[in-house]
Amino acid sequence: MNRFKVVRADTCISCCLCESLCPYGVHRRVEGHTRILPPDDRKCIGPACEANDFFCVANCPTNSLSLRESDNFKSLGDPRWTADMILATWHQAETGAPLPLDHPANEGRSGGGFDELRLVLPEKTPRYDPDDMSTSMELNRRGTGERIRTSVPFYGGGMSFGSISVHTMLARVVAARKWDTFVSTGEGGYPKLLVPYSDSIITQIATGLFGVREETIQRSRIIEFKYAQGAKPGLGGHLLGDKNTPDVARMREAVPYTSLFSPFPFHSVYSVEDHKKHFDWALSINPKALLSAKVSTPNDVEMVAVGSYYAGAHIVHLDGGYGGTGAAPEIAKKNIAMPIEYAIPKVHRFLMAEGIRDEVTLVASGGIRTALDVAKAIALGADGVVTGTSELVALGCVRCGNCESGRGCPRGIATTDPELERQSTSDWGSSILDNLYSSWRAQWCELLARLEMSDISELVGRTDLLRYRQRPAKEVGE
Amino acid sequence: MTIAYERYHIPLKNVAGRAPRIPEFEISRADNCVNCGRCERACIYGVHERSGTDPREMADPINRFCKNCFRCIAECPQGALTMSEGEEYASLGRGVWTSNRMSTIWGEAETGKIPVFGAGYRGMFAGDGYDSMWTDMSEIVRPTRDGIHGREFISTSADIGRIPSFLEFLPSGEIATNMPPLFEIPIPMVLDATRTSVLPENVEDGIAIAAKALRTLVFVPLDRTSRAAREGCEGCVVPVVPAHTEPSSLRLPDGVRMVEVVVDGSWRDEMEALTATFEDKVVSVRIRAERGVEETILDMLDMGVAVANVEYSDDGMEYGDDGRHAMESLRAIHAKLVSAARRDEMTIMAGGGLAAAEHVPKSIICGADVVCLDKSLLIALECRNCIDCDPVSCPVDVSSASPSWVSDRISNLVGAWRDQLLEVLGAMGLREARRLRGEFGRAIFFEDLERDFTSSLDGGERT
């Protein structure tokens, strides 16, 4: 996608001076052609080029070239995922290069939450060796059960087979394995292709029990119970009929092309005791598994978190209101339950006061987009985060929001349409995600070095490092 | 008499618009297009097609099909395609009536469906008025969920009129309390045809038909009452009587259950005559909200007014320079009546600034029993919210629409909004809209969250 628009006027005489000047390859004439090709402005670095001797606009003998921000760029993105942020994520995913910590694309312009939180960083970066830095997250902080550490402070959030393509699933799992972390299946099981990677897969159990079988539970090292989802808290999961292709339906043991509804809530769980029984049921099938409770963020989120702990959860996963989804009513995304930024410190401090913070792994999700959002969530009190949308963006998502309908994603990411999903392969996808993770890790390492820390767990709950700037948000409803 | 169980249901159907949809994004094709047809293969929505007259050329993109996926732009080998924001779309919208909300209402009125999309929330973090509150949800259950998918029933009914706080009985066991007129409507939304500019007759008729079909109320100016009351709509029609009308001079159609009077500063003198004349009807008073409106409303309750219809500005604000948003104003009214221990003796209606489905539950949480839909009804008819509304130059020629089209579009809108109210109630674990009313504790206010949040940041600025 081009950020800038380079316009060549009719007065161009195809002298091709620009071609010889531009080191980025914007201008090109094919050997034998009389006229130069239209500018390939995807390669252009924009007005910043003015400082260079080779700036084509200034050098053109007939003044035929002009440069402006492209309309495409202006139509991309939204206040939460700005065009800058999407392009930066694509760049990170292509190159693996870290985004400078002061780059504007590290935050959105939604006027609140992460977008108004800044980490106070000392100016100078001391010399550091990334290999000495730890960015890992402990997933089991209770006395019993398997110790599991991920090498990065995140794991991949639930996106079901059906809501996303098998290539996307496989890409996420392959990348997760490389980084010693996990990917949640979402509710819908996982196809055979993923079975060899089951060590890196979290099986999600939600009310529809789609794709949940004894063997999937037995294979999983971590079992996630989805009590609610941030984007549609208190509402159920929903896969629209068109996306329920025969493959998906087989996995879910359902009738193809019918809408699949996974209703809220678990009617068998009305108390902490029920909650524990629910966990016990899973443990009776796989006694070694770690248990995660995925909940959203109501007013009493801290009580819910404490309840989950006493029921036996190793991981308490808070999913905030502004999180991702494959299909949700618009009214629920914005209006029901609070944004994650408010919930993390609330829960963190409550668990501290209860004296059980050290025994719980608190992970957060719901609108965590960049490496710096991750760091901010950790500084607010989470041990780590769960990612989702940022991975899809890395894979080429432009957040057009058409994942739910018809054949699904026009770009082949969140679809099970056999034709559309051919647009990408899992090999490409996993290297893209690998790049994104490298880039994020490099950002965290620099951040830790600046703060003179060597382990990201030292950052947990360091709200003293955060500054919150109040700025009136006026563009609401846009 | 046996009463069969009947579940309230709003029939929805697809009601196509009459005017072309205004596209949010426009794709333009530059001259350097080589007509290779890659875009045609790339687009799954049918934006790009070859020209019907000359298949060697690509036709102009059909923008209303575009869903902004950027695939054609990314795949065009010539870089000939550009996506830009639609000019007309960008120029739409004023105040709380943003282009996005208007276009959402157009969609709801067309399909009657809840807007459902993929990808997470994409707007601002928070904002003014109703954008500074979130509704709560219930993590671990209560029964309910869910009216729309056909399991347990969630009631959205509201009571109109005065509910006595207690009943008195004679020694014989009969009720001694003189029961005031009171009735129930199945949705907490009424249609108000008086607030917008003078409506063409076809629109007025359509709104009345919709009110009858929805079994709710329609507020009409007094002089239009008999027209609106045709076709057995009497029970739905609420005549709105201008200030200083002599009550005894009024001739209302039979079957009218409720009457509303507009009042000004001298309302106290008129109240007695009004309530005496309309003894058998619910008497509502329309009051322009200004700061301190809660005091006036409590006074009115003392004078026997059963319904206060509180009118906010088009942007949902109280009138006057120091006006509060309806969110605060309604909370003040509700709290006032609660602390006087008389909340149920009065029905509070609120209108103005209701531009999106979420404003209905939010108004109710803040203390309204019922909301009045006004401008949204016109927007449902594809109104562009022009600054100067003139039926002659109306860009969508609203006066040529058939009353049944008007009625169907409005039923769709109300149906979609009710379904969204059900979503919110379901998420909260409530099975009755009545119990949502005034439940401040089940809402999350920006102000409170910010205060907690800033105080939890050791290094944060404290306010």
Give the single-character DSSP code of A274: H
Q: How do beta strands A290-296 and A315-319 pair?
A: parallel
Distance CA A150, CA A139 (A): 7
Which amino acid is it at A292? S
User: How many A-B residue pairs are in contact by the CB < 8 A criterion?
Assistant: 288
Closest chain A residue to B358, measured at CA = A331
User: Is the predicted pLDDT of residue A475 greater than 50, yes or no?
Assistant: no
The tokens describing B181, both together, are: 């007129």
User: Is the predicted pLDDT of residue A78 greater than 50, yes or no?
Assistant: yes
Residue B15 to chain A, least CA–CA distance (Å): 20
Residue A126 to chain B, least CA–CA distance (Å): 24
Determine, for residues A112 and B126 on separate chains, whether the beta-carbon distance falls below 8 Å: yes
Instruction: Express each pLDDT in B68-103 by its tens digit.
Output: 889 999 898 888 899 998 889 988 989 999 999 999
Is there a contact between B366 and B357 (Cβ–Cβ < 8 Å)? no
**Residue B157 forms contact with A (CB below 8 Å):** no
Determine, for residues B427 and A469 on separate chains, whether the beta-carbon distance falls below 8 Å: no
Closest chain B residue to A231, measured at CA = B120
Is there a contact between B231 and B251 (Cβ–Cβ < 8 Å)? no
Q: Mean per-residue pLDDT for A432-442?
A: 96
The tokens describing A133, both together, are: 């830095």
Domains of chain B: 25-90 (3.30.70.20), 148-449 (3.20.20.70)
**Residue A191 forms contact with B (CB below 8 Å):** no
Is there a contact between B194 and B220 (Cβ–Cβ < 8 Å)? yes
Which uninterrupted H or E stretch holds A376? Answer: helix A371-380
Residue B135 to chain A, least CA–CA distance (Å): 5
Instruction: Express each pLDDT in B343-357 by its tens digit.
Output: 999 999 999 999 999
Distance CA A429, CA A435 (A): 10
State yes or no: cis peptide before B31, omega within 30 of 0. no
Helical residues (DSSP H) of B66-192, grouped into ranges: 71-75, 87-91, 99-111
* Banded model confidence at residue A88, pLDDT cuts 50, 70, 90: very high
Q: Which of B119, B123, B145 sits opposite A476 (nearest CB)?
A: B123
Residues 353-382 of B with CB under 8 A from A: 355-358, 361-362
State yes or no: cis peptide before A472, omega within 30 of 0. no
Distance CA A208, CA A187 (A): 8
Distance CA B357, CA B360 (A): 6
Q: Which of A78, A269, A329 sits opposite B122 (nearest CB)?
A: A78
**Residue B150 forms contact with A (CB below 8 Å):** no
Instruction: Express each pLDDT in B190-211 by its tens digit.
Output: 999 998 777 888 999 999 999 9
Q: Please list every residue in chain A whose beta carbon sits closer than 8 Å to the beta carbon of residue B355.
A: 477
Residues in contact with B302: Cβ distance below 8 Å, sequence separation at least 6, in sequence order: none
Q: Is the pTM of this model over 0.90?
A: yes
Q: Which of B44, B135, B141 sits opposite A410 (nearest CB)?
A: B44
- Any idea what the Cα angle at residue B264 is, between residues B260 and B268, rounded to 5°? 80
Per-residue CA distances from B192 to A114, B211, B234, B375 (Å): 41, 10, 15, 9
Determine, for residues B32 and A38 on separate chains, whether the beta-carbon distance falls below 8 Å: yes
Per-residue pLDDT of chain B (463 residues; tens, 9 = 90+): 566 777 888 999 999 999 988 988 899 998 888 999 999 999 999 999 999 898 899 999 999 888 888 999 989 888 889 999 888 998 898 999 999 999 999 999 999 999 988 888 989 999 999 999 999 887 765 544 444 455 567 899 999 999 998 899 999 999 998 889 999 999 999 999 998 777 888 999 999 999 999 999 999 998 888 887 776 778 899 999 988 888 888 888 888 999 999 988 777 878 888 888 888 899 999 999 999 999 999 999 988 899 999 999 999 999 999 999 999 999 999 999 999 999 999 999 999 999 999 999 999 999 999 999 999 999 999 999 988 888 888 899 999 999 999 999 999 999 999 999 988 988 888 889 999 999 998 899 999 999 889 888 864 444 4
Q: Please list every residue in chain B whose beta carbon sits closer than 8 Å to the beta carbon of residue A397.
A: 119
What ipTM is given for this predicted complex?
0.89
